[in-house]
């Protein structure tokens, strides 16, 4: 048995009532980068310089496996038991913890959006009126619509939780998902298949 040692346009109806923080500095817009049609090839999720993440898995063979270390806030990618990549991550904050356990990748979606968390924006103007909308408890104001938070390169591994491109403030801050720098989320996404094991510690 191999052991892995770790050296993560519509019709304007009415004016929305303002709630939360608005404007271009919204947490969701800042956290997840440009919208899909404006997405850059650069890393929209980085909040701090990333001098630790790397990818050396191109051309390597072997069965993939991902280990997510919540204490270190890092994810490790193995091929055939060999460590070929490591990424800084941001896992779930208190009350939305990323659950420990052994899972498998059950879905891959390059352009995924959350159906639970995101923003409310005014129909016709796209003005953000609530940048921290939670569809489990917030009602969409009249004249507004819900826009799910982008979760590019989404790799679901349990329930509504997966790895994806996202904002990394340097600590666990997500709603349970595992956020990664865009370049690393793309590398992981391109090298996993449905059924790839994911170990969360």
Give catalytic residues, as residue numbers.
Answer: 164, 177
Give the chain's count of helices (H) and strands (E): 2, 13
The Cα–Cα gap between 63 and 82 comes to 10
Query: If you write DSSP's letter for every residue of 45-80 in order, what string do you get?
Result: SBSS--SS-EE--TT--S-EEEEEETTTTEEEEEET
> Quick one: CA dihedral 201, 163, 193, 78, positive or negative?
negative
- Identify whether the C-beta of residue 166 lies closer than 8 Å to the C-beta of residue 98: no
Q: Cα 79–81–82 angle (5° rounding)?
A: 65
């Amino acid at each position: 048995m191999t052991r892995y040692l770790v050296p993560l346009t519509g019709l304007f109806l009415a004016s929305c009532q303002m709630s939360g923080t608005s404007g271009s500095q919204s947490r969701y817009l800042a956290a997840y980068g440009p919208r899909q049609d404006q997405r850059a090839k650069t890393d929209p999720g980085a909040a701090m310089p990333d001098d630790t993440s790397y990818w050396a898995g191109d051309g390597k063979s072997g069965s993939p496996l991902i280990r997510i270390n919540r204490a270190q806030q890092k994810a490790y990618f193995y091929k055939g038991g060999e460590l070929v990549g490591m990424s800084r991550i941001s896992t779930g904050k208190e009350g939305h913890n990323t659950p420990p356990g052994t899972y498998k990748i059950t879905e891959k979606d390059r352009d995924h959006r959350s159906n639970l968390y995101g923003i409310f924006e005014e129909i016709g103007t796209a003005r953000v009126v609530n940048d921290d909308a939670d569809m489990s408890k917030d009602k969409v104001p009249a004249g507004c619509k819900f826009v799910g938070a982008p979760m590019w390169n989404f790799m679901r591994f349990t329930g509504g939780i997966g790895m994806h491109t996202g904002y990394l403030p340097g600590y666990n801050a997500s709603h349970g998902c595992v956020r990664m720098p865009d370049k690393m989320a793309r590398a992981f996404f391109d090298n996993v298949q449905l059924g790839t094991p994911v170990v969360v510690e």
